[in-house]
Structure 1
Protein backbone atom coordinates (compact mmCIF):
# COMPACT_ATOMS: atom_id res chain seq x y z
CA UNK A 1 0.00 0.00 0.00
CA UNK A 2 1.38 3.42 -0.92
CA UNK A 3 1.65 6.23 1.64
CA UNK A 4 -1.18 8.07 -0.06
CA UNK A 5 -3.43 4.98 0.04
CA UNK A 6 -2.60 4.48 3.71
CA UNK A 7 -3.35 8.09 4.61
CA UNK A 8 -6.53 7.98 2.49
CA UNK A 9 -7.60 4.92 4.48
CA UNK A 10 -7.08 6.89 7.71
CA UNK A 11 -8.99 9.78 6.14
CA UNK A 12 -11.92 7.46 5.37
CA UNK A 13 -12.02 6.45 9.05
CA UNK A 14 -12.12 10.11 10.08
CA UNK A 15 -14.89 10.85 7.57
CA UNK A 16 -16.83 7.93 9.10
CA UNK A 17 -16.30 9.37 12.57
CA UNK A 18 -17.57 12.78 11.47
CA UNK A 19 -20.73 11.15 10.07
CA UNK A 20 -21.25 9.03 13.21
CA UNK A 21 -20.87 11.98 15.59
CA UNK A 22 -23.14 14.09 13.38
CA UNK A 23 -25.83 11.42 13.71
CA UNK A 24 -25.35 11.19 17.48
CA UNK A 25 -25.52 14.99 17.81
CA UNK A 26 -28.72 15.14 15.76
CA UNK A 27 -30.30 12.28 17.68
CA UNK A 28 -29.43 13.31 21.21
CA UNK A 29 -29.61 17.09 20.94
CA UNK A 30 -32.89 17.16 22.89
CA UNK A 31 -32.18 14.40 25.41
CA UNK A 32 -28.55 14.87 26.33
CA UNK A 33 -27.04 16.48 29.39
CA UNK A 34 -24.90 19.54 28.73
CA UNK A 35 -21.60 17.78 29.50
CA UNK A 36 -22.40 14.96 27.08
CA UNK A 37 -23.36 17.43 24.37
CA UNK A 38 -20.10 19.33 24.89
CA UNK A 39 -18.16 16.08 24.56
CA UNK A 40 -20.00 15.00 21.40
CA UNK A 41 -19.46 18.43 19.84
CA UNK A 42 -15.79 18.50 20.87
CA UNK A 43 -15.16 15.03 19.40
CA UNK A 44 -17.05 15.99 16.24
CA UNK A 45 -14.80 19.06 15.87
CA UNK A 46 -11.65 16.98 16.56
CA UNK A 47 -12.59 14.54 13.82
CA UNK A 48 -13.36 17.37 11.37
CA UNK A 49 -9.92 18.85 12.13
CA UNK A 50 -8.33 15.42 11.55
CA UNK A 51 -10.07 15.21 8.15
CA UNK A 52 -8.66 18.62 7.23
CA UNK A 53 -5.13 17.67 8.40
CA UNK A 54 -5.11 14.34 6.55
CA UNK A 55 -6.44 15.96 3.37
CA UNK A 56 -3.59 18.48 3.58
CA UNK A 57 -0.98 15.74 4.02
CA UNK A 58 -2.31 13.84 0.99
CA UNK A 59 -2.22 16.98 -1.17
CA UNK A 60 1.34 17.81 -0.04
CA UNK A 61 2.40 14.26 -0.99
CA UNK A 62 0.94 14.83 -4.47
CA UNK A 63 -2.12 12.61 -4.03
CA UNK A 64 -5.86 13.06 -4.29
CA UNK A 65 -7.84 12.84 -1.06
CA UNK A 66 -10.87 10.55 -0.96
CA UNK A 67 -14.17 12.40 -0.66
CA UNK A 68 -16.30 9.81 1.14
CA UNK A 69 -15.93 7.26 3.88
CA UNK A 70 -16.46 4.20 1.67
CA UNK A 71 -17.67 0.85 3.02
CA UNK A 72 -16.54 1.60 6.57
CA UNK A 73 -18.59 4.79 6.54
CA UNK A 74 -21.67 2.95 5.29
CA UNK A 75 -21.26 0.42 8.11
CA UNK A 76 -20.84 3.27 10.63
CA UNK A 77 -24.00 5.00 9.39
CA UNK A 78 -26.05 1.79 9.61
CA UNK A 79 -24.64 1.00 13.06
CA UNK A 80 -25.34 4.50 14.36
CA UNK A 81 -28.85 4.53 12.88
CA UNK A 82 -29.61 1.26 14.68
CA UNK A 83 -27.91 2.43 17.85
CA UNK A 84 -29.88 5.68 17.82
CA UNK A 85 -33.11 3.68 17.65
CA UNK A 86 -31.99 1.54 20.59
CA UNK A 87 -30.97 4.47 22.77
CA UNK A 88 -28.13 6.50 24.16
CA UNK A 89 -26.12 3.66 25.73
CA UNK A 90 -26.04 1.67 22.49
CA UNK A 91 -25.11 4.78 20.50
CA UNK A 92 -22.26 5.58 22.92
CA UNK A 93 -21.02 1.98 22.63
CA UNK A 94 -21.09 2.29 18.82
CA UNK A 95 -19.08 5.52 18.99
CA UNK A 96 -16.62 3.80 21.37
CA UNK A 97 -16.18 0.91 18.89
CA UNK A 98 -15.53 3.41 16.11
CA UNK A 99 -12.93 5.24 18.20
CA UNK A 100 -11.20 1.96 19.03
CA UNK A 101 -11.08 1.02 15.35
CA UNK A 102 -9.58 4.42 14.51
CA UNK A 103 -7.04 4.04 17.30
CA UNK A 104 -5.99 0.60 16.00
CA UNK A 105 -5.67 1.93 12.43
CA UNK A 106 -3.39 4.75 13.59
CA UNK A 107 -1.27 2.28 15.59
CA UNK A 108 -0.99 0.07 12.51
CA UNK A 109 -0.02 3.03 10.30
CA UNK A 110 2.79 3.93 12.71
CA UNK A 111 4.29 0.47 12.20
CA UNK A 112 4.84 1.31 8.51
CA UNK A 113 8.51 2.32 8.45
CA UNK A 114 8.02 4.05 5.10
CA UNK A 115 5.38 6.44 6.49
CA UNK A 116 6.48 10.03 5.76
CA UNK A 117 7.82 11.82 8.86
CA UNK A 118 5.24 14.60 8.76
CA UNK A 119 2.37 12.08 8.63
CA UNK A 120 3.95 10.11 11.47
CA UNK A 121 4.28 13.28 13.53
CA UNK A 122 0.63 14.25 12.92
CA UNK A 123 -0.54 10.81 14.06
CA UNK A 124 1.71 10.72 17.13
CA UNK A 125 1.14 14.28 18.35
CA UNK A 126 -2.49 14.96 17.42
CA UNK A 127 -4.57 12.14 16.01
CA UNK A 128 -3.67 9.26 18.34
CA UNK A 129 -3.92 11.36 21.53
CA UNK A 130 -7.35 12.60 20.37
CA UNK A 131 -8.54 9.01 19.85
CA UNK A 132 -7.34 8.09 23.34
CA UNK A 133 -9.08 11.13 24.84
CA UNK A 134 -12.33 10.29 23.04
CA UNK A 135 -12.22 6.67 24.26
CA UNK A 136 -11.63 7.74 27.88
CA UNK A 137 -14.50 10.22 27.76
CA UNK A 138 -16.84 7.69 26.13
CA UNK A 139 -15.90 5.19 28.85
CA UNK A 140 -16.86 7.81 31.48
CA UNK A 141 -20.15 8.60 29.72
CA UNK A 142 -20.96 4.90 29.44
CA UNK A 143 -20.20 4.40 33.13
CA UNK A 144 -22.57 7.26 33.97
CA UNK A 145 -25.35 5.96 31.71
CA UNK A 146 -25.04 2.43 33.07
CA UNK A 147 -24.88 3.50 36.74
Structure 2
Protein backbone atom coordinates (compact mmCIF):
# COMPACT_ATOMS: atom_id res chain seq x y z
CA UNK A 1 0.00 0.00 0.00
CA UNK A 2 1.49 3.32 -0.99
CA UNK A 3 2.17 6.09 1.48
CA UNK A 4 0.06 8.41 -0.67
CA UNK A 5 -3.04 6.24 -0.26
CA UNK A 6 -2.44 6.05 3.50
CA UNK A 7 -2.09 9.84 3.65
CA UNK A 8 -5.28 10.34 1.64
CA UNK A 9 -7.14 8.01 4.00
CA UNK A 10 -5.65 9.78 7.03
CA UNK A 11 -6.81 13.12 5.59
CA UNK A 12 -10.35 11.81 5.09
CA UNK A 13 -10.40 10.34 8.61
CA UNK A 14 -9.15 13.63 10.06
CA UNK A 15 -11.97 15.44 8.26
CA UNK A 16 -14.44 13.00 9.83
CA UNK A 17 -12.70 13.43 13.19
CA UNK A 18 -13.10 17.22 13.05
CA UNK A 19 -16.80 16.70 12.40
CA UNK A 20 -17.12 14.40 15.40
CA UNK A 21 -15.21 16.83 17.63
CA UNK A 22 -17.59 19.56 16.47
CA UNK A 23 -20.57 17.34 17.30
CA UNK A 24 -19.26 16.85 20.86
CA UNK A 25 -18.89 20.64 21.20
CA UNK A 26 -22.30 21.30 19.66
CA UNK A 27 -24.14 18.91 21.95
CA UNK A 28 -22.26 20.32 24.94
CA UNK A 29 -23.60 23.77 24.14
CA UNK A 30 -27.10 22.54 23.34
CA UNK A 31 -27.46 20.51 26.56
CA UNK A 32 -27.26 23.64 28.68
CA UNK A 33 -30.21 25.17 26.81
CA UNK A 34 -32.75 22.42 27.49
CA UNK A 35 -35.06 22.79 30.45
CA UNK A 36 -36.30 19.19 30.72
CA UNK A 37 -33.86 16.71 32.21
CA UNK A 38 -35.21 13.92 29.99
CA UNK A 39 -34.30 15.88 26.86
CA UNK A 40 -30.90 16.88 28.23
CA UNK A 41 -30.28 13.22 29.08
CA UNK A 42 -30.92 12.19 25.46
CA UNK A 43 -28.52 14.88 24.26
CA UNK A 44 -25.85 13.75 26.75
CA UNK A 45 -26.16 10.17 25.46
CA UNK A 46 -25.73 11.35 21.88
CA UNK A 47 -22.77 13.50 22.91
CA UNK A 48 -21.17 10.45 24.58
CA UNK A 49 -21.64 8.44 21.38
CA UNK A 50 -19.90 11.20 19.41
CA UNK A 51 -17.07 11.11 21.99
CA UNK A 52 -16.73 7.36 21.36
CA UNK A 53 -16.52 8.05 17.61
CA UNK A 54 -13.79 10.62 18.27
CA UNK A 55 -11.80 7.98 20.16
CA UNK A 56 -12.27 5.39 17.40
CA UNK A 57 -11.23 7.79 14.66
CA UNK A 58 -8.16 8.93 16.62
CA UNK A 59 -7.10 5.32 17.18
CA UNK A 60 -7.66 4.54 13.50
CA UNK A 61 -5.57 7.52 12.36
CA UNK A 62 -2.76 6.57 14.73
CA UNK A 63 -2.85 2.97 13.49
CA UNK A 64 -2.19 4.28 9.96
CA UNK A 65 0.79 6.29 11.20
CA UNK A 66 -1.05 9.60 11.13
CA UNK A 67 -1.45 12.41 13.61
CA UNK A 68 -5.08 12.97 14.67
CA UNK A 69 -6.45 16.48 14.67
CA UNK A 70 -7.35 17.77 18.12
CA UNK A 71 -9.77 20.60 17.31
CA UNK A 72 -12.91 21.00 15.27
CA UNK A 73 -11.41 23.79 13.17
CA UNK A 74 -14.03 25.35 10.91
CA UNK A 75 -16.60 22.87 12.24
CA UNK A 76 -16.59 24.75 15.54
CA UNK A 77 -18.56 27.53 13.86
CA UNK A 78 -21.46 25.11 13.48
CA UNK A 79 -21.44 24.51 17.25
CA UNK A 80 -21.69 28.22 17.93
CA UNK A 81 -24.49 28.52 15.37
CA UNK A 82 -26.54 25.92 17.22
CA UNK A 83 -26.00 27.74 20.50
CA UNK A 84 -27.10 31.03 18.95
CA UNK A 85 -30.14 29.33 17.39
CA UNK A 86 -31.17 27.89 20.76
CA UNK A 87 -30.84 31.30 22.43
CA UNK A 88 -32.80 33.13 19.75
CA UNK A 89 -35.43 30.62 18.70
CA UNK A 90 -35.63 28.06 21.49
CA UNK A 91 -35.24 24.35 21.95
CA UNK A 92 -37.19 23.20 18.91
CA UNK A 93 -34.95 25.18 16.55
CA UNK A 94 -31.87 23.85 18.32
CA UNK A 95 -33.10 20.28 17.83
CA UNK A 96 -33.71 21.03 14.17
CA UNK A 97 -30.16 22.35 13.83
CA UNK A 98 -28.78 19.27 15.61
CA UNK A 99 -30.70 17.05 13.17
CA UNK A 100 -29.18 18.95 10.26
CA UNK A 101 -25.73 18.36 11.76
CA UNK A 102 -26.40 14.62 12.05
CA UNK A 103 -27.64 14.50 8.45
CA UNK A 104 -24.54 16.36 7.30
CA UNK A 105 -22.38 13.87 9.22
CA UNK A 106 -24.12 10.97 7.50
CA UNK A 107 -23.33 12.63 4.18
CA UNK A 108 -19.65 12.93 5.12
CA UNK A 109 -19.50 9.26 6.07
CA UNK A 110 -21.30 8.24 2.87
CA UNK A 111 -18.80 10.26 0.82
CA UNK A 112 -15.92 8.57 2.62
CA UNK A 113 -17.41 5.16 1.83
CA UNK A 114 -17.46 6.09 -1.86
CA UNK A 115 -13.90 7.47 -1.83
CA UNK A 116 -11.41 5.11 -3.52
CA UNK A 117 -8.61 6.52 -1.34
CA UNK A 118 -10.28 5.32 1.86
CA UNK A 119 -8.84 1.96 2.88
CA UNK A 120 -11.13 -1.07 3.32
CA UNK A 121 -10.49 -1.23 7.08
CA UNK A 122 -11.54 2.40 7.41
CA UNK A 123 -14.67 1.79 5.35
CA UNK A 124 -15.53 -1.13 7.60
CA UNK A 125 -15.12 1.05 10.71
CA UNK A 126 -17.34 3.73 9.16
CA UNK A 127 -20.11 1.40 8.02
CA UNK A 128 -20.20 -0.85 11.09
CA UNK A 129 -19.41 1.50 13.99
CA UNK A 130 -19.41 5.18 13.10
CA UNK A 131 -22.38 5.76 10.80
CA UNK A 132 -25.12 3.62 12.43
CA UNK A 133 -25.34 5.75 15.60
CA UNK A 134 -26.00 8.86 13.52
CA UNK A 135 -29.19 7.34 12.15
CA UNK A 136 -30.27 6.49 15.71
CA UNK A 137 -29.47 10.08 16.74
CA UNK A 138 -31.93 11.36 14.14
CA UNK A 139 -34.69 9.19 15.63
CA UNK A 140 -33.82 10.31 19.16
CA UNK A 141 -33.88 13.97 18.14
CA UNK A 142 -37.21 13.54 16.38
CA UNK A 143 -38.63 12.03 19.58
CA UNK A 144 -37.73 15.11 21.63
CA UNK A 145 -39.38 17.50 19.26
CA UNK A 146 -37.27 18.21 16.21
Q: Return the TM-score normalized by structure 1.
A: 0.89
> Would you say how many aligned residue pairs link Structure 1 and Structure 2?
139
> 1:79 aligns to what SS in structure 2?
helix
Aligned to 2:79: 77
CA contact (8 A) 2:23 2:79 kept: no
1:23 is aligned, of 21, 25, 29, to 29
1:33 CA drift (Å): 4.2
Q: In the aligned structure 2, how far is the partner of 1:22 from the partner of 1:38?
A: 11
Q: Gaps spanning 5+ residues in structure 2: where? A: 1-6
Q: Gaps spanning 5+ residues in structure 1: where? A: none
> 1:2 aligns to what SS in structure 2?
helix
CA RMSD of aligned residues (A): 1.4
After the TM superposition, which residues 61-72 of structure 1 pair with which residues of structure 2 at under 5 Å, given as runs? 61-72=64-75
Q: Return the TM-score normalized by structure 2.
A: 0.89
1:59 and 2:62 equivalent? Answer: yes
1:89 and 2:89 equivalent? Answer: no
Aligned to 1:5: 11
After the TM superposition, which residues 85-124 of structure 1 pair with which residues of structure 2 at under 5 Å, given as runs? 85=87, 86-124=89-127
1:113 CA drift (Å): 2.6
Which stretches of structure 1, 4 residues or longer, exceed 3 Å deviation after superposition? Answer: none
1:78 CA drift (Å): 2.4
